[in-house]
Amino acid sequence: MKSLRGALTLWVWVTIGAVGAVSAVVAIWQAQLETQGQLDYQMQQVAQIVAGQTFTPGEQAAELSDAKIFPSIHVHHDRDDDLIVSVRNPDGRLVYASRTNRHLPGQSLPDFEQMGFQTRRIGHQSFRVFAARSASGLRIQVAQSMDVIREAEGGIAAATLVPIGLLLPSLALVLGWAIRRQLRSLGATTAVIASRPPLSVELLPADGVPLEVSPLIEEINRLLRRLTTAMDREKRFVTDAAHSLRTPLTALQIQAEILDGGDGPEERAARLAQLRAGIKRIIRLSEQLLSHARSQSEIGPITVTSELDSALAEIVAYYASTAQSKGVEVVLEAQSAARVYGNTRRLTLIFGNLLDNALRFTPGGGRIRIRSFLAGESVRVELWDPGCGLPPEELERVFERFYQASENEGSGSGLGLATVQALVGQLGGEVHLENRLDRSGLVAIVTLPVAGCARFLPRP
């Protein structure tokens, strides 16, 4: 696992090293330029001083001393680093030559025709030479060994690099310490999380956390809030499911005891029929519990699409025998020709539950009407039944889990519409109920986005 502190420290050191290397190169280059400029200026000044001197005709070069040309200022230095000067008259005769040093032993500068600055090799060494001509025609040459120049450049470069070499490592250490100190709050947060109980959903502390990490802490706290809500919902679901199962199981136990003590075959047959009906009710409740649990647990984007009209036709065909046994006519008017998100199982759970409710409350001889048509980028499915309808205050409450309307008391589990609402929400649609205005009964309206016409995101 990658360490944030280690990565930051490494990048700081790498950056400081790169900056130090570039600074060193620039410092050396600048030192060379500055040193060469100063030494060139020094040679020009010496040439200008020499040009102002008067050399007596016939005077030998050996008779002149450096003290006559350059006054002493009593500064101790290495005499071998002095400039080498030679002066010739217009005829080329040497009229002055500075004393020789170790860089040019036993000889004077040769006569150069080229004026200005130049680098020449004299003997076994290289020299920086400045040649000029005075107003009186004297040819003045000033030279300095390249060894002296490089030594001066090295000294200036070293004086520049020493502070850099001392400050940059100190800066790296200080920044590394600062990074560790600033990330110490993350270590404290980690310790708090590690010490929490396994099932704790308490929010993480946000005090003292760096500003850059605050969004992460906030998102984790939002996740914990959603997890708390989901856990509370599941606890209520388990409690409600246990309560809903306890009633029919108790009834089954009572009926079994009564059946055991029945007086005659006819009475036993009637009680057996009641027992079988109770068993069927428990089986249906278990199936609805399983379907609802699956609808609540499914997450992630839904990309599978299905043809809506074909799915509605299959559902109507599946419930045809039930409708026929009750004498109810189911009329399908599928005219959408649209594809919607979700597989056939989801669509069957949605519209199968709605049709099952309609069949349960539709009297014999009644007609259930199912319509599907396009409405912009959505498809609208309406299921009309001629049942008893619902009070206005219960049109929304019937979507709550285990809630049973007053007209539905004892004939359902209260999970069908809750499952429908959960599945429709996962498909990006909406579902609601309305009382019919033309007669008694309900209209269940489901709106789903058409596949490809709207961007679909599942409900979290």
The CATH H-level (homologous superfamily) assignment of domain 298-460 is Histidine kinase-like ATPase, C-terminal domain (3.30.565.10)
Amino acid 249: pLDDT: 67
pLDDT at 62 over 50: no
- Report the alpha-carbon distance of residue 366 to residue 383 in Å, rounded: 14
Average pLDDT, integer, range 305-330: 90
Q: How do the domains of the chain map onto residue ranges?
A: 4-169, 198-296, 298-460
SS (H, E, C) 188-247: HHHHHHHCCCCCCCCCCCCCCCCCCCHHHHHHHHHHHHHHHHHHHHHHHHHHHHHHHHHH
- Rounded CA-CA distance 141/132 in Å is 6
Q: How confident is the model at residue 303 (pLDDT cuts 50, 70, 90)?
A: confident
pLDDT digits (tens, 9 = 90+) for 86-109: 888 888 788 887 765 565 665 677
Joined together, the tokens standing for residue 437 give 């205005």
Residue 380 has pLDDT above 90, yes or no: yes
Tell me the pLDDT tens digit for each residue of 207-247. Answer: 766 676 778 778 888 888 888 877 776 766 666 666 556 65
**For residue 71, what pLDDT band results from cuts at 50, 70 and 90?**
very low
Q: How confident is the model at residue 49 (pLDDT cuts 50, 70, 90)?
A: confident
- Alpha-carbon span 448 to 65, nearest angstrom: 111
Confidence class of residue 58 from pLDDT cuts 50, 70 and 90? very low
> What global pTM score does this model have?
0.46
- Give the pLDDT band (50/70/90) at residue 313: very high
